[in-house]
Amino acid sequence: MLVSAKEMIQAAYAGHYAIGAFNTNNLEWTKAILQAAEEMRAPVIVQVSEGAGKYMAGFKNVADIVKNVMEFQKTSVPVALHLDHGTYAGCKACIEAGFSSIMFDGSSLPFDENIEKTKELVAICNEKGMSIEAEVGSIGGEEDGVVGMGECADPEECKTIADLGITMLAAGIGNIHGKYPEGWPGLRFDVLDAIKAKVGDMPLVLHGGSGIPDAMVQDAIRRGVSKINVNTECQLAFAEKTRAYIEAGKDIQGKGYDPRKLLAPGAQGIVDMVKYKIEVFGCAGKA
Ligand code: 13P
């Protein structure tokens, strides 16, 4: 059964660790994320972007795949299924499809509109027992064609959105989706601390979790980050292992072309990466 992310996030905030939120892209990803979380006894958030949702033949299919894999793999750790960077329409569709959590990304809207739509979605989520993440200050880099400039969020705006009754808040602090460019100066802890000072006990979300040095991630957790999003590093792990398999000519030996063989090393790469991140985030054994 899927659960809201509220309880796991609040426990993480109180216990000074972070929940890993891993983007799924297909069946292999879903199986791998759930397997890793189970092996680590860690609560986990499986999340999907709107683009990946389309790729997976719709949000209803995503919800069914996650629930069916959980049943088949006998998943016993708490799992939330979350929409990543949702539009207003995408949030509505995921609520319908049976997700247990959504992110409404109104960061590119005029601030008043971000407030209004966030408020409306908070009311629906409260009624349905779902968790909701909101965003202030777009995250840098590109994800699914959404390009952010990497601005830092305004702490006052963070406070206004945090006070709307959301579960967790994503705020730009110099983080970027995808690979970090050469010479990236690192997370802006001064901004993180200023936001924290305004929003009090609101758990914060760190997007663009791939490629940030582990010690910097752990510092962010100490300063109030309770959910960390990871996508690119799982994709890189999958691609690297798959490339090695093909470059070694294994796909042309015997039945090495069988997708169950061809995709196995990449899938194991995702399992290993998710387990590694769970360890770094301090949430192993917290289920
Ligand atoms: P990365 O792809 O950089 O890990 O970012 C993931 C993310 O923040 C999803 O919202």
Q: How far apart are CA 281 and CA 216, in angstroms?
A: 11
Q: How far apart are CA 64 and CA 57, in angstroms?
A: 11
How many CB atoms lie under 10 A from the CB of residue 235? Answer: 19
pLDDT in tens, 145-195: 555 546 789 999 999 999 999 999 999 999 998 988 888 889 999 999 999
Look up 272 and say whether it is catalytic: no
pLDDT in tens, 76-96: 999 999 999 999 999 999 999
Among protein residues, the one with the nearest Cα to ligand 1's atom 1 is: 208
φ and ψ of 102, to 5 deg: -135, 155
Annotated active-site residue in 64, 84, 201, 214: 84
pLDDT in tens, 196-236: 999 999 999 999 999 999 999 999 999 999 999 999 999 99
Q: Quick one: which atom of ligand 1 is closest to the CA of 206?
A: 8
19, 22, 23: residue to mutate for ligand 1 pocket, most atoms within 8 A of CB: 23
Q: What number of CA atoms fall less than 13 Å from residue 261's CA on the CB side?
A: 12
Q: How far apart are CA 13 and CA 205, in angstroms?
A: 11
Distances from the Cα of 70 to the Cαs of 27, 30, 188, 269, in angstroms? 12, 9, 37, 20
- For residue 131, the one-letter residue type is S
Structure tokens at 272: 């290993």
Share of residues in the chain with pLDDT > 70 (%):
95
Sorted by sequence, the CB contacts under 8 Å of residue 174 that are 6+ apart come out as 140, 150, 152, 185, 186, 187, 188, 191
Ligand 1 centroid to residue 178 C-alpha, Å: 6
225, 232, 233, 238: residue to mutate for ligand 1 pocket, most atoms within 8 A of CB: 232
Question: What is residue 91's predicted lDDT score, i.e. its pLDDT?
Answer: 98
Question: What is residue 141's predicted lDDT score, i.e. its pLDDT?
Answer: 62
- Buried-state track 259-270, b at ≥16 Cβ within 10 A, e below 16: eeebbebbbbbb
Ligand 1 centroid to residue 229 C-alpha, Å: 5
Ligand 1 centroid to residue 150 C-alpha, Å: 13
Model's pTM, two decimal places?
Answer: 0.96
Place of tokens 């892209």: 25
Q: How far apart are CA 59 and CA 11, in angstroms?
A: 28
pLDDT in tens, 94-153: 999 999 999 999 988 999 999 999 999 999 999 999 999 999 876 666 555 555 546 789
Among protein residues, the one with the nearest Cα to ligand 1's atom 5 is: 208
Residues at CB less than 6 angstroms from ligand 1: 23, 84-85, 177-178, 207-210, 229-233
Question: What is residue 151's predicted lDDT score, i.e. its pLDDT?
Answer: 74
Ligand 1 centroid to residue 227 C-alpha, Å: 12
